[in-house]
Amino acid sequence: MILYLLKNYLNMRQKLLLLTLLVFGLAVQVVAQDLTVIGTVSDNAGDPLIGATVVLQGSSIGTATDFDGSYQITAPSNGTLVFSFIGYQEQVIGINSRSTIDVVMLLDVEELGEVVVASLGIKREKKALAYSVTQVDGEQFTEARENNIANALIGRIAGVNVSKTAGGPGSSSRVIIRGNKSLQGNNQPLYVIDGIPMDNSGFGQAGVWGGSDEGDGMTSINPDDIESITVLKGASAAALYGSRAANGVINIVTKRGKSRKGIGVEVNSNFVLETINDLRNLQTDYGSGDYVNGVASKPATQAQAIGWSISSWGPLLDGSSVVQVDGVSRPYSYTGDNWDRYYNTGSTFTNSIALTGGSATQNFRFAVSDLRGTDIIPNAGFDRTNLSLSTNSRFGEKLTLDAKVLYSFEKAQNRPRLSDIPANGILPCGFYRITIMF
């Protein structure tokens, strides 16, 4: 009887132990059940990060954020999620039975490499390129402004030589990358704006017998619209754009709208003064005239005064009365510094305003700029009005629409005549040009 009771007691304990293990196992299973987690991934400015990776730690289960920075993933309630995005610090966050997890990513300064726009708007890390590339941010072109944006590259990029003419404000510039490649060609690089090649040929140049420099395509660009300028050097860069890029490429990326709350307003005002920096000290002892029978002589008639006005072979300035080019007799003496009498202090006053806004799927930027400039030569100047409109829209995950219009209206007054000495000075006429780029 005792043995029978002991046997039943042991069997009962075994059943109780099995029941306890079963209940504990069910509890563990309930704790580790799958859970759908949703949330958003953004940067420290609140902008959504598109394409950020969300992975369940220790597994191959993962997803990526959409255009709103949103994600959804199914994972164990006690699991751990790993959030990562290029250029940002990796975030490891435990789920802890939460169904909503929003993450703010912080920039990883140490791992973020320099990114440049190589071609057609494609961004690549600078160290991954097989050719030499130098990028200049657009902010550097808005401080000490140049009417021709190509002149702002002077001294900023190694191997790039920029020379400008004495054609006044709005004149053209010549850019040579790593020296001349041809004896007959123009050796200038290819200019590309937002992936579209641009013809930078001059609208008019001075010839052997004179003429005016009427500027080129780069004079039509507003510095406030530039995000960055990348200079691609070497023949390897020609593989991106063909033979036209054999002398290198100057790739211009313009600004565009960004997703943000409300509408952003950007206002810029800039005033630049310009003056002559090299006024040579000329002799003041001898006047205009010519050699007559081997002797320096003053003009005796009005006809001689007109013919001898550009010759400096006259005798000492003694103050005697001499007939001038207008037929009036005046003292033959030094009349003072004519540099200050002729040249002015040039100025350029620029005002611009830009409106930006949009969401993660559509954004825009509209900008207006007004430039008013006077030249160091009297009665000469250059005015320019720029309008720009850009928009970017995303339809789904694969379709993107990017549209941009740049409009420039320019007015140049009394462009200086070059090469031909008699016409060098003030040309009493004006030039008008309207440039539209799509």
Rg of the chain over Cα atoms, rounded to whole angstroms, equals 37
- With tokens 């600004």, the residue in question is 255
Distance (Å, rounded) from C-alpha 179 to C-alpha 247? Answer: 9
Q: Which two tokens stand for residue 392?
A: 């970017």
The b-or-e profile of 114-139 (16+ CB within 10 A means b, else e) is eebbbbeeeeeeeeeeebbbbbbebe
Give pLDDT, residue 67. 77
Give pLDDT, residue 104. 92
Q: What's the CATH architecture for 117-276+345-437?
A: Beta Barrel (2.40)
Task: Write down the H helix ranges in 180-338.
Answer: 238-241, 302-308
Distance (Å, rounded) from C-alpha 228 to C-alpha 31? Answer: 53
| Region for residue 69 given its phi and psi (left: phi exceeds 0; alpha: psi -120 to 50; beta: otherwise) | left
Task: Write down the H helix ranges in 195-258.
Answer: 238-241
Q: Nearest-CA neighbor of 78 among 62, 49, 51, 57? A: 57
Give pLDDT, residue 26. 43
So where are the chain's domains?
A: 1-27, 34-105, 117-276+345-437, 290-335
Distance (Å, rounded) from C-alpha 94 to C-alpha 50? Answer: 22
Q: Nearest-CA neighbor of 248 among 173, 177, 305? A: 177
Consecutive 10-residue runs of the chain (438 residues): their mean pLDDT? 49 55 46 81 85 88 87 91 88 91 82 54 52 71 78 80 79 80 74 84 68 82 87 70 80 83 88 83 84 87 84 87 89 84 89 88 91 89 93 79 89 80 53 42
Cα–chain center distance at 167? 24
CATH fit for domain 34-105, picks 1.25.40.10, 2.60.40.4130, 3.40.50.12780, 3.40.50.720: 2.60.40.4130
Cα–chain center distance at 49? 24
Give pLDDT, residue 394. 80
- Supply angle C-alpha 402, 403, 404, rounded to 5: 130
The beta strand positions in 85-189, using DSSP E, are 91-94, 103-105, 115-119, 122-125, 133-137, 160-164, 173-177
Contacts of residue 343, Cβ cutoff 8 Å, sequence gap at least 6: 275, 276, 376, 377
Nearest 10 degrees: CA dihedral of 138, 144, 150, 153? -80
